[in-house]
Each structure stands twice: as C-alpha cells, then as structure tokens.
Amino acid sequence: MAFWESLIFASIMRRKDNFNLYELNTFRLDVVASKIYFPESYEEVREVVEEYPDAFILGGGSNILFATDRLERPVIAPEIMGIEKLYEDEAQVIVSSGAGEAWQALVDFTLDHNWGGLENLSLIPGKVGAAPIQNIGAYGVEFKEVFFGLEAVRIKDGALHTFNKDMCEFDYRYSAFKGSIKGQYIITRVYIKLRKDHQINTSYGGIKMTLNKLGLEKPSFREMADAINYLRRSKLPYPDQIPNAGSFFKNPIVGNKWLEDKKCTYTFVPHYRIDDQQVKIPAAWLLEQAGFKGYRAADAGFYEKHALILVNHGRASGEELWSLAQKARKEVETKFGLLLEPEVNIIEA
C-alpha cells in the first residue's frame, strides 16, 4: 500500500488503539485490543484484511469467552448495516441484511412485515453475520432452515465470494466457517428466504405451556415471538442482567445403548430423538446431575435457574470462567462418560 493510500485508509477507517472490549463481549470481560478497526463496507473489510490478514474477527461478542486480558493482533469488528427486502412473490420473500446488524433487528424487521420463519429465534444475542457461522438455533428451529445465501470476503486475497446452503455445510451448531474454512473468510452480508406457507413450530420444550399461559391459542408470528421472549426471559439470564454467552456447551448426541444404560440408574433421562439410532441429551441436565446448577466459585458460576449457562457474577476473569467450565466438563465426563463440547468459542491469546 502506497504512503498516500495508507493516509486515506487511516482517515476513512474508524480505528481505536488499546481499546477495551468490555462492551463488545457479553461476558463483560476487560480485554484490551492493541488496535481495532470498524469497517462499514465490503471495500473497507477488503482493505483492512489486506493490511492485517491475521486479524481477529469480532462480531457481537455473544458467543466468545476471552481467556486472556489482551489481544495483540488487530481486531476487525465489521459494522456493515442495512436490512431490505430483495424479492417477493406469492410463495416466498428474500431478505438481505448487513452482517453488522443486530440479530434481533432482522427478526423484528420480518415480524413487522408479518413474515414468519424467525419467530422461534427471537431474542438471541449477537449479530447477523454470526448466525450462519454458528447455525444458531432455539426451540426446535435452526438458522439453516431460512438461509438462502451469504457474501464473504476471503482474507488471503480480499476477493468477495458467494456461498449457498450446501457450501456452508450446516450441522448442529456448526458450519464450514467453524470447520473446513475456519478463519478464511469474513461474512459481510446474509440472505434469508421466508416462505409464505410457513407454519409456526410449537413442538419444542415449554412452548405450548407458555402459549396457554399467555392465552394464545392460534398465535400470530409476532405473538409467537413474544411467547418465545417470555420463555427465554423466564429461564435464561439476558446478558444485560447477568453477563453470559448463552448456552455454554452443546447438547451431546448419543446412541440408544447409552440411553438405555442410564435409564437403569435414573428414573427419567430427558432426550430428543434424532433418528432411530441417536438421541440428543440436554447438557443442562447432565450438568445439573453433576451438581453445577447454581454452583459458584467466587464470581464465576453456573446460573441458578439453568445449569447450561456459565455466568459472570461480577468481576470474574476469563481465565476463572474457563477454569470453572473445564471443571464441570471433567465432572460430567467422569459421571456420564460424555465429554461436553463448548458451544462458545474460547480465545486464549
């Protein structure tokens, strides 16, 4: 990059040095970034990755545990905004969203237009760009069900690439961006497809009970989202109340033999069937049986109402939170023979 070009780059790109990421991670940890850039367009993303190809990419910070107090490599926090309808016919609607938009802003946009599909995914913290990476999901619905495509900048050369569903390799809380192409792209824009014949999914967890409690026999999309919000608020601590990153571990998938063996010991083993051979076991139940519901070590702890939520009660460090998570992991493995896999990304340097 020529000298005069670097001056233009510096004058346009919003940048901060020795920036505290406290407000940019939902565990509310004091982590200092040596430098951070906030690109607002694909072109700015391309420019900054050309300068710093080893930069750390930060979204909404809702799925990250910093087990360190400083990041020496530069941080890129994309702020590409804008939500709009691209296409609509009698069967479907296609919506485009900048990766820097808050996930709830996209949910609200669809609900305001009375388009169904995202109602069960309401109130999930984070930004739109993180949704395909994590294949976010809640209450029986996964993001891949509405995914249409995305655009992403390839870090090694700044080229803009388009991905369809097959290319993303979606699986349970997984995509190619967490596996085969991890760290190679920065997502800049996401496209979703919502079908006009969409049917509300009320089959998961306590949804039906919540709808009955709220007097909603045939809820609209907005009413369904309100019920999901009510359910989430009643069971899960929102980060603005108690700092956390949501579900800390994935729910393990086991075979029928494991389930039958445990039924000999426990009167009831909660599970959700995947197919004839496999079931999903709630990690929260495993952690509760291992004694971690409400467990606290100084300011690091597990939420008193839901054992799957690792929380920061005040001034816990990232190292303390990660140490407690590993302790819980080891106890569950000893007790059940299952090694819980973190759903949250652990950043140790």
The residues assigned a catalytic role are 173, 247, 343
From 229, 204, 237, 205, select the one nearest 309 (Cα to Cα).
Answer: 237
Residue position matching structure tokens 């919003």: 14
From 207, 157, 213, 208, select the one nearest 185 (Cα to Cα).
Answer: 157
| Spacing of C-alpha 161 from chain mean position | 22
Q: What residues contact residue 191 under an 8 Å CB cut-off, 6+ apart? A: 86, 94, 95, 96, 97, 147, 148, 149, 150
Residue 29's Cβ-count burial label (10 Å; 0-12, 13-18, 19+) is: buried
- Which pair of tokens denotes residue 69? 């107090």
Rg (CA), the chain: 21
What is the Cα–Cα distance from 282 to 286, expressed in whole angstroms?
7
How many other β-carbons are positioned within 10 Å of the β-carbon of residue 91? 9
DSSP-assigned states of every residue in 171-221: BTTB-GGGTTTTTSEEEEEEEEEEETT------STTHHHHHHHTT-SS--H
What is the Cα–Cα distance from 173 to 132, expressed in whole angstroms?
9
Q: Where are the beta strands (DSSP E) in 217-287?
A: 244-247, 253-255, 272-273, 278-280
